[in-house]
Amino acid sequence: MVRWTAVSAQVITLLIVQLLLGFSLPLRIAFAIVALSAIVNIISTVQGSRGIRLGEGDTMMYLLYDVVELSALLYLTGGLQNPFAFLLLAPVAVGAGILSRLRTIILVLVALSMEAILGVWHMPLPWDADHLALPLLYVFAVWLALSISTAFIAAYTWSVTAEGRQMSSALAETRLALAREQRVSAVGALAAAAAHELGSPLGTIAVIAKELSRDLPPDSPFGEDARLLLSESARCRTILAELSQRKDKTEGPIPPFDLVPITALAQAAGEPYHTASVTVDYTSEGDAKTQPLATTKPEIMHGLGNLIHNAAQFANQHVEVFVYWDARKVEITVTDDGPGYSSQILSRIGEPYISTRLGDGTHMGLGIFIAKTLLENTGASLIFSNAEDGGAVARVIWSRDAFTDPHNIAEPKASSAKHTQHSRNQHDERASDSLHRLWQRISRGIGGK
């Protein structure tokens, strides 16, 4: 659309200068150049209608053509003396916004070359009988201003768009990290649900195996098989019991924070990042009876895990995770005994792709950015600072209202658990009675035969 606009504007400008202003122009050559641009744009439009997306190399070639086409028109109409010479900045600005650094440099060099050529070689500026001869110094000043503008606009546009691309890439990495954490959480919930659903069938199998081993004669060839079946079913129930230790989140409504003490959550988040060379200590302060309950939400687990991992990477020997709560807030503070943050990094902490903590080339990457983004999505605020005796400090603060008070859930949970256990006991009793009667009939049939 931009190129069609340019083609239309070029045609209108040539006609106005030739017909209304009365200046003589080489219209045939000029219109041939404009027609070539129209043909190029038709080809581009056909490619777009077929769903063909341009690669970066093809995009650069189109923009290079725009620079050369406009330079050819300027050559026919006075070169840099033509007031429309500033339009050479347009393809450069577009290219700097979408091309890589190398291709942007190539585009800028071609534009600067065209500007230098137009400053020296060009047809006369269309004018009246007394041709206007601009001083050489003025033409040089126009060339210098245009060249500086080309380089500056390209560099500035590329840096701004590069920062935007970095932010987009960082957010994409954050979404991927969260998706991975959510998949892990979903697998755990699925395992808990499977353990719950398979418990009853395995109980039935265990009852049958027990009846078989008890009722079969001691010398029966099936006695060993019955005992093996009983032991394997017991083993399966043990495995499922371990899986079901994770709360089954498929039953009932899921509250925002789901029945995990905040101290346990902090330890679970940091557990994967313990190393032999760095010790991680967990301490807490607050009334144990009012300790807030939280869920192992992927955002919290991955965010806190990244903070603890970052502290362990830069710590000399020790990392402390301190959990504090009162009636107003819940706070988790991660402190390490490492070198701390430099003043330059501290002012930009939380931005993506910060390259160092101390300015010594140590890479920090996306860890802090991902942690900050994920934790802020849960309602937390983060504060980064340096400890008085050295080391970095990361504080994560939530409002107490974001968590569940243990007193508000104790009674409903106990009632629900009692009802669930009662239902399971009734089911097991009915299954046992039915299976016992069935086995008696089978035994009598076998004995009679």
Name 360's Cβ contacts closer than 8 Å, sequence gap at least 6: none
pLDDT of residue 444: 54
Mean pLDDT across 265-282: 86
pLDDT of residue 184: 60
Fold (topology level) of 260-406: Heat Shock Protein 90 (3.30.565)
- Taking only the tens place, the pLDDT of each residue in 394-406 is 999 999 888 877 6
Q: Which range among 3-12, 241-250, 299-308, 430-439 has the greatest average pLDDT?
A: 3-12
Given a contact cutoff of 8 angstroms between Cβ atoms, the answer to whether 150 and 112 are in contact is yes
Q: What pLDDT band is residue 203 in, cutting at 50, 70 and 90?
A: confident
Lowest mean pLDDT: which of 27-36, 157-166, 286-295, 402-411? 402-411
Nearest to 372 by CA among 170, 145, 205: 170
Distance linking the first and last C-alpha atoms of the chain = 91
Instruction: Give buried/exposed letters for 78-110 (b at 16+ CB in 10 A, else e).
Output: bbbbbeebebbbbbbebbbebbeeebbbbbbeb
Mean pLDDT across 156-182: 76
C-alpha 359: how far from chain center: 26
Q: Mean pLDDT in the chain?
A: 79
**Domains of the chain by residue range:** 2-134, 260-406, 409-449
- Taking only the tens place, the pLDDT of each residue in 60-118 is 999 999 999 999 999 998 889 888 999 999 999 999 988 888 999 999 999 999 999 99
pTM equals 0.50
Residue 247 has pLDDT above 80, yes or no: no
- Taking only the tens place, the pLDDT of each residue in 10-20 is 999 999 988 88
- Taking only the tens place, the pLDDT of each residue in 29-45 is 999 999 999 999 898 88
Task: Pick left, alpha or beta for residue 259 (phi over 0 → left; psi -120 to 50 → alpha; otherwise beta).
Answer: left
pLDDT of residue 103: 92
